[in-house]
Structure 1
Amino acid sequence: MSTGAMEISVVVPVYRSAGILPELVRQVSDELSILAPDRYEVVLVNDRSPDHSWSVMRDLSKDRPWLKCISLRKNAGQHNAIMAGLNFAVGRIVIIMDDDLQHPPSALSTLAEKIREGADVCYTRYLERKHSTFKTLGSKVNDIAAGLLLKKPKGLYLSSFKALSGSLVKEIIRYDGPFTYVDGLILSVTDSIAVVEIKHGARAEGDSGYTLKKLLSLWLKMATRSSIPLRVATVSGFVLSLLSMLLFAAVIIERLIAGTDQPGWASTIAVLLFVSGVQMFFLGVLGEYVGRIYSRVNKEPQFTVLDAINTNGTAPNCRTSAQTV
């Protein structure tokens, strides 16, 4: 299969999916063999999965030269694992999907067609989501946060099942920081966005790895890609300072006119604690930004590769050797 003629790459981050992988690879390859015969590849990225996913990936790759298998040295998180896959993908069209078969391989052709029509990215919108209540609620909150922090187009659902043009991928992987939010990178470089509706399948096996900790981490990545939290801190500080000056002036005026002291130590302490709490919160926000700057200055890697199969030992799109080992 010629790398120069590669039409479609499918990137799949893998975590706790050993039992699903054979069926996933079969369904995806069946679809791609019709969509782009001899001009496709599948890039599986093992995000340091604690099960035997890597062993399964190695077995699957033995008679499938189009199956690239990447194993990361440590767990990097879903978005960083996707970035690792994008660095190894060489297709003119790159499709990102999950490893649980909730994203139907039958939709690959629809996504690819939108990119061929000229869109930079094509997101999917589910006709009916088959997620847990917690994940559905988390997705809704994430959608609201993305609208506020990233200026996401109204009505656009940032699905993890999406297709990107090869040229857009090259722009995205220019980012080499450790705190990656793929959709934030996409929205920062293009507004050529298409959307298709698909059916959402049930998870083929196991439970979702979606947790509150991962959700909070995602929100922090999203928030610190924007200067809005810093602006909120500035405006809040100005408003609280203005209110305190007005209240101070009111107390002095009443003291001069009525000649009486104002009782209310409890309310004073309550206000003091509130203002102190707000100050500490925004110090935390500043700390998040400073921490990310510190990691960036110290060149903390986005991901490190422990092993790679069917890649000729290199990542075609990697910019620095620090990312691969």
Structure 2
Amino acid sequence: MQKISYVIPCYRSQHTVGGVVAEIAATMQTLPQYDYEVILVNDCSPDDTFGTIRSLVAADSHVVGVDLAKNFGQHAALMAGFHKCSGDIVVCLDDDGQTPADEVGKLLAKIDEGYDVVYASYDTKRQAGWRNLGSWVNSKMTEIMLGKPPELVVNSYFAARRFIVDEMLRYEHCYPYVIGLVLRSTKRICNVPVHHRAREEGRSGYTLSKLLNLWMNGFTSFSVKPLRIATYIGTLFAMAGFLYFIYIIIDHFTRAAAPIGWASTTALLLLLGGMILVVLGIMGEYVGRIYMCANAAPQYVEREVIRHEENDA
């Protein structure tokens, strides 16, 4: 009998994660060919999410709770859950009920067809417009920076074979990016359509700044293309400056009184200076990450792990 491990990062889900676990339990009753476990990772939520997790662990032997010592982010929480799971297939989904756990059979069916990773794709996303825009930007940037196929949709609801998770666990640095780890591990990836639900309560834990940090993390941790793009842009501006220099010389000898052009000179200096600072900033981002990894900054820190047997004791 194969075992399914559900890994769920939890943040501000005191009132919703219980419903997700109940839906998983009900769904697994319709899939008797699988055993299962649910790994709930509390990413230092400010509400009583871990109190809810304690109750769920005490009531169900399939549930394991992990409490992180500080907020490390969704992808670090996923990595913490991966270290605790033991299933042949790992399914990741959200804690707010928007990802339909009752449609997990569609993902598992594709795994059975021979795919290594299966991502859910949504007919209509029930989220704010700026989040949809952010998802589109992330998709395009992932295509450019990480080589994601244009037709592939990636999100937080997916199923992966055990060997893929084992490969991801080989990454021990402090800036995990699960999508990048998946894309560098296999090409056998597909989508399956599912229904995306409206949020039951609260709002997304992702702000615009957190999304920008996540994108920067993914691109600088798994690709050198930002450095190459900076090099190409720098080369382009250098060529443009050289051509402008030739133009100035020709203009000086062909016109009796060439304009001084303080405004254009100042604008050019500001533009070139800005480009230099952008390139230095990208280089600094890479150097900073090398420094953090050299100092062995942790992906996450566990405060506590609770299991059903411990609660019974």
So what's the TM-score if we normalise by structure 2? 0.94
Match of 1:114 among 110, 116, 119: 110
Match of 2:247 among 247, 250, 253: 250
> Match of 1:16, SS?
coil
Match of 1:185 among 167, 176, 181: 181
| Partners of 1:27 and 1:105 within 8 A in 2 | yes
Per-residue displacement from partner, 1:11-61 (whole Å, max 9, x unpaired)? 000000001122111111111233246721000000000000101111111
Which residue identity is paired with 2:288?
A: G
Match of 1:203 among 179, 185, 199: 199
Please report how far the alpha carbon of residue 252 of structure 1 lies from its aligned counterpart in structure 2 after TM superposition: 2.0
Which residue identity is paired with 1:141?
A: V
Q: What residue in structure 2 maps to residue 316 of structure 1?
A: none
Q: What residue in structure 2 maps to residue 240 of structure 1?
A: 237
Distance 1:234 1:312, change over 3 A: farther
Match of 2:261 among 243, 260, 264: 264
Distance 1:36 1:307, change over 3 A: farther
| Residue 168 of structure 2 corresponds to residue 175 of structure 1 | no
Provide the C-alpha distance between the structure 2 equivalents of 1:132 and 1:282, rounded to a whole number of angstroms: 33
Which residue identity is paired with 2:284?
A: G
- Report the RMSD for the aligned CA atoms in angstroms: 1.7
Q: How many percent of aligned residue pairs carry the same amino acid?
A: 39
Match of 2:215 among 214, 219, 223: 219
Which residue identity is paired with 1:11?
A: V
Match of 1:34 among 30, 33, 38: 30
Provide the C-alpha distance between the structure 2 equivalents of 1:118 and 1:312, rounded to a whole number of angstroms: 36
Q: Which runs of 4+ in 1 moved over 3 A?
A: 256-262
Q: What residue in structure 2 maps to residue 140 of structure 1?
A: 136
Please report how far the alpha carbon of residue 255 of structure 1 lies from its aligned counterpart in structure 2 after TM superposition: 2.5
Which residue identity is paired with 1:113?
A: A
> Match of 2:227, SS?
helix
Q: Number of matched residues?
A: 309
Provide the C-alpha distance between the structure 2 equivalents of 1:194 and 1:120, rounded to a whole number of angstroms: 9
Provide the C-alpha distance between the structure 2 equivalents of 1:54 and 1:32, rounded to a whole number of angstroms: 24
Q: What residue in structure 2 maps to residue 276 of structure 1?
A: 273
Per-residue displacement from partner, 1:135-168 (whole Å, max 9, x unpaired)? 1111111111111111111121112100000111
Which residue identity is paired with 2:209?
A: K
Q: What residue in structure 1 maps to residue 293 of structure 2?
A: 296
So what's the TM-score if we normalise by structure 1? 0.91
Match of 2:15 among 19, 23, 29: 19
Provide the C-alpha distance between the structure 1 equivalents of 2:8 and 2:168, rounded to a whole number of angstroms: 17
